[in-house]
Amino acid sequence: MSTTVAIVTPAFKAQSTIVTTVRSVLAQTHADWQLWLVADDGVDYAALLDQAGIADPRIIHAQSGGIGRGASNARNVALEAITAPYVAILDADDRFKPEKLASAVAALADHAIVTTALDVMTDDFVHLRYVGAGPDRLLTPGAHKWVSLSMDSMLVWDRRRTDARYDATMSNMTDLELLLQLYRAVPASFHLGTPLHDYIKRASSMSNGSNVAAGMIASKTTLLTRLRAGAYGLPETDVTGLERFLEISLAAEALYADALATQPGLLFEDHLQPRLQ
């Protein structure tokens, strides 16, 4: 049976980061992969990678169909075209640890959705904190966010058992929204508690710029509204768990700017986690 993983990477002004990101894919111990690199800025990333000595037939270059259409649209271009059984998400400034795909594929033998803990880093790959680290475990939709309290781009799933597309109408939280769609067909996901995904915390996110905060609040509110309307067909207990998380997270968003002014450099995760406990 095929164990090919199609890795979906949207690229917008990613010239300074894409080589490092692609090299993390080339370093995977599981070699049966395709990297769908979807340019959303008109850049010839094949030529850019070639200049760095990277030319691999497993890298598939595609265009989003425009300029600045957004990461969700770019990802959907790939999701509409891939034929591989498994899909993984990798942003153009993040990295996989070498064992990421091997560990995910092993778990996918028994589970339709696999998530992993994150190693959260600065733009210069300086470690900030872990998210979701701990034991491997099965997580229901209502429990997932209480473990992976931020970011959901570490998804890998079996598209034969469940599949979804990104919601291009949302500015933020699109990875969680995709996960909620995936949960429609399966009751739980399997979480690998080893940090296998380097998630880059952009300076704009760390400084909580007004556009970032507004986008987060709007998207979390949208998810709450959809959950309460039964949009994802989840059991009541799962809806309750997700609602409670989002309510706490929204309250934390409202207080984050003041907390950041008092403690410069405060990560939102460090601001949120005590409230969850």
The mean per-residue pLDDT over the stretch 201-221 comes to: 75
Does the CA dihedral 55-59-60-62 come out positive or negative?
Answer: negative
Last residue of a domain, one of 169, 202, 235: 202
pLDDT at 149 over 50: yes
What pLDDT shows up at residue 202? 78
Q: Flag whether pLDDT at 94 surpasses 90.
A: yes
**192 and 232 part of one domain:** no
Which of the listed residues 177, 202, 227 is the one where a domain comes to its end?
202
Chain position carrying tokens 């997580």: 139
159 and 213 housed in the same domain: no
Mean pLDDT over residues 246-259, rounded?
A: 95
Contact 111, 29 (CB under 8 A): no
Residues 173, 265: one domain?
no
217 shares a domain with 181: no
The whole-number pLDDT of residue 212 equals 75
In this structure, are 9 and 139 located in the same domain? Answer: yes
For residues 214 and 89, membership in a common domain is answered with: no
Q: Is 189 in the same domain as 215?
A: no
Looking at the fold, whether 147 and 268 belong to one and the same domain comes out as no
Q: State whether 127 and 188 are in the same domain.
A: yes
**Range of 224's domain?**
206-276
Q: Measure the CA–CA gap between 37 and 181, rounded to whole angstroms.
A: 23
Name the pTM for this structure: 0.95
- Show the 3-state SS of 216-258: HHHHHHHHHHHHHCCCCCCCHHHHHHHHHHHHHHHHHHHHHHH
pLDDT digits (tens, 9 = 90+) for 176-192: 999 999 999 999 999 99
Co-location of 125 and 233 in the same domain: no
Closest CA to 45 of 87, 123, 76, 36: 36
- Burial zone of 201 (CB within 10 Å; 0-12 exposed, 13-18 middle, 19+ buried): buried
Same domain membership, residue 160 and residue 223: no
Closest C-alpha to 164, from 124, 113, 208, 101: 113
Percent of the chain with pLDDT over 90: 93
Polymer length of the chain: 277
CATH number of 109's domain? 3.90.550.10
What is the sign of the dihedral through the CA atoms of 170, 173, 177 and 182?
positive
Query: Do 262 and 170 belong to one domain?
Result: no
- Report the pLDDT value the prediction gives residue 205, as an integer from 0 to 100: 55
Q: Which residues contact 130 (CB under 8 A, 6 or more apart)?
A: 117, 118, 119, 120, 195
Please give the tally of structural domains in the chain.
2
Query: Please, which pLDDT band fits residue 273 given cuts at 50, 70 and 90?
Result: very high
Beta bridge partners of 119: 130, 198
Look at residue 1 and tell me whether its pLDDT is greater than 80: no
Of the candidates 202, 218, 242, which is a domain's last residue? 202
Q: Is the pLDDT of residue 11 over 50?
A: yes
